[in-house]
Structure 1
Amino acid sequence: MKYFWYVLLGGVLMLSAHAQAGTTVIFEAGFGSKAEVWQPVVQLLPKDIKVINYTRPNLLEKDAAPTSIEQDVRHLLSLVKNAALSNNVILVGHSYGGLLATEVAYQASDIIDALVLVDPTTRAHRHRFNQLNADKVKADDLLLAKYMPAHLLKHYSNLTKELESSSDVIYPIPPQLKTVLLSSTQVHKSPMVIEETQEGKKLWLSLHNELFSQVLDGEHIRMSDVGHNIQSDRPELIAAIIQKLVTELD
């Protein structure tokens, strides 16, 4: 598949040069991840699907100031609104990108035709996990700081503070929005962080169940054989889901 590269709103976009179909698929990556993480999925999509796969502006420069959830949502929402002027829109988000996609869906469900959430984070994540085991959450933060690139530490600190100041309520995805939610339920043999433990996975799934609770048209896929990075381990599944949605919309 061939691509052209553009700069738009401070982020790098990858647009399919062959796109002719009436659907645009917008990908949003997880925390600290760039557009490249979606490549295993993108390369499996037909050439007639328009793809917008971008890196959030705050990740393009190592000394960039942290952006808030609201700023990242506003950036993504502008892409959705622009794409919706001429195409159907499928919004795909992983982890933190899933949180952003969900926030956009709350604001613009009338112009999004389908939502694909890949093991998404939720607004209530920090609250619920602190209730489960606050000491473990704090220890995990210290552990992650040892492995996290220095330029991401300030972004992570900013994000955790925002999540802890957010509501602990899960607002369900709008009922009318066609949604596919993929949840990893795999318990790691040697868990590094609380989310990988049996109790952590149980809580993670309960958050997803609340998120999906009112969806009238969709599917919640629970996967016990794959970890958090489903887009890397099972790209063919996500590509097939997107292709099915495109066919239904077109």
Structure 2
Amino acid sequence: MSAMALAIASTAMAQEAKVDRPGYSLQVARQGDAPVAIVFESGFGQGAGVWQGVVDELGATCGCVAYSRAGLGKSGTDGKPKTIEAHLQDLGAVIDAQAKGRKVVLVGHSYGGLLVTEYARLHPERVQGLVLVDPATMGQRVAFKQADAARVAADDKALLSMLPPKLAEDYTLLVTQLDEPANATPHAQPDVPVALLTSTQVVTEPFVFEETAAGKALWKQQHAQLFATYARGEHLYFRTGHNIHREDPKAVADAIRVILADAKSTED
């Protein structure tokens, strides 16, 4: 969940729009139209542009919808730190505005993976399938702190020193929520197809606990536990870093196509 705010890359087929929220608006980039919309949710601190390689792989008629959360890219903000629940409300507003009357395939990376997982759990009637790209999980902080609380605290301090003030406020609120012990208990998930993509790379000089051998083992364990809550799907492993969608956009596009094919076969 590294901090990075990238503006959406413009393409000939992309259409920009705004989704109004109380006190601010969210910038949305939409490409093409399709019976099932593909809605992208970025990692912490990242704007919509990080998905452009995947969108390009899917093509001009993909029905792709990417947006930047409040305070990122060209999206506005009311200046208040956002809880998980507030981000879920914004995601719901984007879906309601950009996929009226249609189900969606949700694609989320890192913190965005956590958000789409939670959205699908709370609103299964709107979701056709999930593509989780090295997702954060509700239980990861509890597991990491049990394994190495001192390292997690040091990582938090280092990250907070690097983040802009508003993102630092969001991060502080987020980890406070994730530190709740109840998060260690997995929730039942909806009966939708899921593709879960896990990074297996261990870094020689790790920046955060997740990049160490011990942290990566727990990361994979968290993903295995998450995948076990779904009735169907595929769990794929990649020898890449955390940003699978940027290192191998074709692999993410292929996973989306599998979920879309499942949706079509279900309708048939």
Matched to 1:226, the amino acid is T
Tell me the SS of whatever aligns to 2:253. Answer: helix
Instruction: Give the TM-score of the pair, scaled to structure 1.
Output: 0.91
Tell me the SS of whatever aligns to 1:57. Answer: coil
Tell me the SS of whatever aligns to 2:138. Answer: coil
What is the distance in 2 between the residues matched to 1:146 and 1:13?
30
1:4 pairs, out of 6, 15, 18, with 15
**CA shift digits 1:38-75 (9 cap, x unpaired):** 11111111222211100012333588221110010122
Query: Are the aligned partners of 1:172 and 1:212 in contact in 2 as well (CA < 8 Å)?
Result: no
Tell me the SS of whatever aligns to 1:91. Answer: strand
Residue 62 of structure 2 corresponds to 49
**CA shift digits 1:71-117 (9 cap, x unpaired):** 10122123335556433310000100011001101111232111010
Query: Are the aligned partners of 1:69 and 1:100 in contact in 2 as well (CA < 8 Å)?
Result: yes
Residue 47 of structure 2 corresponds to 34
Matched to 2:110, the amino acid is S
Residue 36 of structure 2 corresponds to 23
Over 3 Å counting, the alpha-carbon distance change for 1:97 and 1:234 in structure 2 is same
Tell me the CA shift for residue 155 of structure 1. Answer: 1.4
Tell me the SS of whatever aligns to 2:219. Answer: helix
Tell me the CA shift for residue 211 of structure 1. Answer: 0.7
What is the distance in 2 between the residues matched to 1:247 and 1:213?
22
Over 3 Å counting, the alpha-carbon distance change for 1:35 and 1:241 in structure 2 is same
What is the distance in 2 between the residues matched to 1:153 and 1:30?
15
* Identity of matched residues, %: 35
Residue 125 of structure 2 corresponds to 110
Residue 164 of structure 1 corresponds to 179
1:58 pairs, out of 50, 55, 71, with 71
Query: Are the aligned partners of 1:185 and 1:201 in contact in 2 as well (CA < 8 Å)?
Result: yes
Listed as ranges, the matches of 1:91-102 within 5 Å are: 91-102=106-117
What is the distance in 2 between the residues matched to 1:88 and 1:151?
33
1:86 pairs, out of 86, 94, 101, with 101
Tell me the CA shift for residue 160 of structure 1. Answer: 1.1
Tell me the CA shift for residue 126 of structure 1. Answer: 1.5
Matched, 1:154 2:169: yes
**CA shift digits 1:141-196 (9 cap, x unpaired):** 12222332333211111111121136232425625210000111211111111110
- The gaps in structure 2 that reach 5 residues or longer are 1-11
Matched to 2:117, the amino acid is T
1:180 pairs, out of 176, 195, 203, with 195
What is the distance in 1 between the residues matched to 2:157 and 2:263?
45
Tell me the SS of whatever aligns to 1:188. Answer: coil
What is the distance in 2 between the residues matched to 1:91 and 1:149?
28
Give the aligned CA root-mean-square deviation in angstroms: 1.9
Aligned pairs, how many? 247
Moved more, 89-98 or 163-172: 163-172
Query: Are the aligned partners of 2:193 and 2:233 in contact in 1 as well (CA < 8 Å)?
Result: yes
- The gaps in structure 1 that reach 5 residues or longer are none
